[in-house]
Structure 1
């Protein structure tokens, strides 16, 4: 399918603003809903989903002394016992007990078979979030924006209907609900990224704002906990969310059929260079920067998703009561709302550095500095990811609060900063396809989450320290941007510059 959009299409300022606002709200509501998994798990556990997998004799009591809690299966490790011992001491000092939900046979206490089932669902969900990314990238490139968005809206609507059908008696609806939510959410997220081209002079800020907004959608499951306390059935809430998500389909007809018109800072020069062939996609894909960024992107998301998958077990082990565990779950969800303030920061800084680079007299040096503008956003994201992950090694409330604060930066920036960097580092024509390829590769590797979860059940500290070591290696991605000769070669290849252009003075820019 070829693009049938007018190449000279221009959007009025009012239309651009409306499209951008629609994209911002959609990203904030539905682009990354599945990453609110810890909050949803807490709600589902209280409702008793997969509670039948637990030992009824062990969990039928409505109250357990925290000091008497033991690992619920042989898969629990000696490390978990050490964590419980530490926690027991803290809880004993407060003379508290761990209360199980009175309304269900199984509450939110640790139950390894139940935890493993939820971990399996989350692993499959995260894998499905971006495994089809390469197909979505090519779908955007060939079929266009409208077709992709209609598919996304349809999947999201059906996913919320299925989630409403998931009950203690019929938990199997949870699998297709989460998978469709992941597929639809990622299609929506990838289609929104190109909205940054609506404002070329503030492209990085716009991209990181749209990309970072997906982190706020993780808080949508907070609605279930709040409405349950008021006696509103989860199914009714899901029907409402299905109606809201269906609006994505109708809003798609307000947007260009194929893509948002693209303008680059050096577009005038490109238009005068007619004899040059386009740079092949493989040139970008097989570059050193591509491999380093693929590894960085995977490790950032792997660490964040491992943290989210471990979070419910971690807070249950640390908490002294169901109420305390519920508090940590609420804080996690409310914290997601603050993520939206941190996502655009990297883009604002990148745009600022790009504007500073515009003062450079050499055209080649200017373009190099534009790429290097992503150094600090990438580095800060790596540091915040490391702090978030280190926190789960400590079973203490302070560690939980520290992890949530650092997650404010990590969750939105892991994707937002990555998208802004890809848009600067590689040709614009490669952006959608690279975005899809990186997403697919990352998601295929993300299936290692479940084996890692099982390993952490047996050997908690070795499993998580290994991730920290691998995470440290990902720092090579921002560091390699500091090697200016390497970046000069990258720019020459990316823009197919001849000898004269490499030594030319800066050109007029938009």
Structure 2
């Protein structure tokens, strides 16, 4: 009977993983397919009034920096609104659990489709905990989801190709809206009501057939520095109590502050590229729309490969599993190499897109996709490793919300490119390349932190 029950549990784990992967692939990161969507928006005439008296005599096509600037700002506003709500969403997730968070996001989406990216953020946030079901491959599962997040940008490529064959933009978005019913079914049957604990107790189950439930409580000590985590499971008559650091103490650690800076810089480089890739291609292709369309399609198809690259990052972070170290020590030690590789690829990516050579942008596309897959996967996995899971939603949301500051900096940067540099972002890209070198400090700090911990542990063993 137990074997049968255990088999059903394993099947549900895999169903949760696979359906979550499809959910992430189809909705979470579609906004990063902006290069494909903006091509359609231009053909539909959005902000076309900004193109008055701007004409390219070489090939008779229209080029307009004003339209490009307005559409780039639309992308930035969407990114900023998404990041601002991440901390409240993370707090709701940590406090009320998976079901409440997902239902709230779906309600927002059904009332107004501009919340599409916020729904995507919630899906990405709550899917991270699925990695807890696969202990030795936890970081790999997390990076598989973030790889699907990157590859979901291909959705806007599909919309672009359908538009070129006569399917209206309204029909495509209506179909995306109707697909939200799938999120509801997955919430009911294949996700926990609260959270998936780590490590997972034997025969743990969830969904409609959930046998127990979890809840969290905080114990206020006189110094307000310790919080408690309770797990009560009535099915197995067991109660777990574990003390963990408070949210505030986690937030003030050097590990978190350096991670915040690392993430903000790399994300800033990526968002500048995504917001300016279409005008950059137009400029390098002399406004040849067929050539711009070709490179836009190439970029979108390259983004589809994100789900193939991201698991490599997870394998790097899981490589120390099984060694004579605690789970946290093994994972934290492995994360330094993964984050350092991300920083190095970000530097190479910035170098490539700084060069005003059109064929070289193929390399930029590849590096951007690989680096983006490593960025979000490494970010989510590191927070799961370095800090208690009961604070994951808040810490992840706080990083995204505070990184809004760098997004706000993109408004003057874009204004500088369009009006002071006459559409040529070379000097801005060189500055970004130099800035990207600062991200190497975070993985080096993690390495030194782990080395000091191991040294202190050895000295403690000798003293004992």
Q: TM-score range, shorter-chain basis?
A: 0.7 to 0.9
User: Are residues 317 and 45 of structure 1, via their aligned partners in 2, closer, same or farther at CA, if it must alter by over 3 Å?
Assistant: same
Residue aligning to 2:441: 476
Say which of 290, 299, 310 aligns to 1:332.
299
Output the TM-score relative to the length of structure 2: 0.83
5 Å-filtered alignment, 1:47-66, equals 47-55=44-52, 57-59=53-55, 64-66=56-58
Residue aligning to 2:280: 314
Q: Deviations over 1:45-85 (max 9, x none)?
A: 11211101221x434xxxx443xxxxxxxxxxxxxxxxxxx
For the residue of structure 1 that corresponds to 2:319, the secondary structure is: helix
- 1:233 deviation in Å? 1.6
- The answer (yes or no) to whether the contact 1:154–1:246 under 8 Å persists in 2 is no
Tell which deviates more after alignment, 433-442 or 146-155: 146-155
- The answer (yes or no) to whether the contact 2:299–2:362 under 8 Å persists in 1 is no
- 1:315 deviation in Å? 0.4
2:206 is the counterpart of 1:239: no
- 1:472 deviation in Å? 0.9
2:29 is the counterpart of 1:32: yes
- The answer (yes or no) to whether the contact 2:94–2:391 under 8 Å persists in 1 is no
User: Are residues 222 and 154 of structure 1, via their aligned partners in 2, closer, same or farther at CA, if it must alter by over 3 Å?
Assistant: farther
User: Are residues 10 and 156 of structure 1, via their aligned partners in 2, closer, same or farther at CA, if it must alter by over 3 Å?
Assistant: farther
Q: Deviations over 1:252-305 (max 9, x none)?
A: 10121111232179xxxx99xx99743122222111111111000001111000
What is the rounded CA distance, in whole Å, between the counterparts of 2:405 and 2:108 in structure 1? Answer: 21
User: Are residues 317 and 480 of structure 1, via their aligned partners in 2, closer, same or farther at CA, if it must alter by over 3 Å?
Assistant: same
What is the rounded CA distance, in whole Å, between the counterparts of 1:229 and 1:275 in structure 2? Answer: 58
- The answer (yes or no) to whether the contact 2:102–2:122 under 8 Å persists in 1 is yes
What is the rounded CA distance, in whole Å, between the counterparts of 2:262 and 2:241 in structure 1? Answer: 36
Residue aligning to 1:173: none
For the residue of structure 2 that corresponds to 1:278, the secondary structure is: strand
2:340 is the counterpart of 1:379: yes
CA RMSD of aligned residues (A): 2.9
- The answer (yes or no) to whether the contact 2:333–2:450 under 8 Å persists in 1 is no
Say which of 36, 39, 44 aligns to 1:42.
39
Say which of 128, 132, 145 aligns to 1:210.
145
For the residue of structure 1 that corresponds to 2:193, the secondary structure is: coil
User: Are residues 500 and 406 of structure 1, via their aligned partners in 2, closer, same or farther at CA, if it must alter by over 3 Å?
Assistant: closer
Output the TM-score relative to the length of structure 1: 0.76
Residue aligning to 2:315: 348
- 1:31 deviation in Å? 0.9
- 1:187 deviation in Å? 1.5
- The answer (yes or no) to whether the contact 2:355–2:426 under 8 Å persists in 1 is no
- The answer (yes or no) to whether the contact 2:142–2:380 under 8 Å persists in 1 is yes
5 Å-filtered alignment, 1:96-175, equals 97=59, 100=61, 109-157=62-110, 160=113
Say which of 123, 127, 152 aligns to 1:192.
127
Residue aligning to 1:451: 412
Q: Deviations over 1:400-447 (max 9, x none)?
A: 111011122112111111111111122222222211111111124321
Structure 1, unpaired ranges of 5+: 1-8, 67-96, 101-108, 161-176, 493-498, 505-510
Q: Deviations over 1:211-256 (max 9, x none)?
A: 2210011111112221122222221122112111331122210121
- The answer (yes or no) to whether the contact 1:124–1:447 under 8 Å persists in 2 is no
For the residue of structure 2 that corresponds to 1:58, the secondary structure is: coil
What is the rounded CA distance, in whole Å, between the counterparts of 1:343 and 1:502 in structure 2? Answer: 38
- The answer (yes or no) to whether the contact 1:317–1:395 under 8 Å persists in 2 is no
Q: Deviations over 1:181-202 (max 9, x none)?
A: 2222111211111111121221
Residue aligning to 1:170: none
User: Are residues 479 and 156 of structure 1, via their aligned partners in 2, closer, same or farther at CA, if it must alter by over 3 Å?
Assistant: same
User: Are residues 395 and 486 of structure 1, via their aligned partners in 2, closer, same or farther at CA, if it must alter by over 3 Å?
Assistant: same
2:217 is the counterpart of 1:256: no
For the residue of structure 2 that corresponds to 1:231, the secondary structure is: coil
- The answer (yes or no) to whether the contact 1:129–1:185 under 8 Å persists in 2 is no
Residue aligning to 2:245: 279
- The answer (yes or no) to whether the contact 2:94–2:392 under 8 Å persists in 1 is no
- The answer (yes or no) to whether the contact 1:372–1:481 under 8 Å persists in 2 is yes
What is the rounded CA distance, in whole Å, between the counterparts of 2:306 and 2:110 in structure 1? Answer: 25
Residue aligning to 1:171: none
User: Are residues 204 and 302 of structure 1, via their aligned partners in 2, closer, same or farther at CA, if it must alter by over 3 Å?
Assistant: same
What is the rounded CA distance, in whole Å, between the counterparts of 2:33 and 2:303 in structure 1? Answer: 8
5 Å-filtered alignment, 1:423-438, equals 423-438=384-399
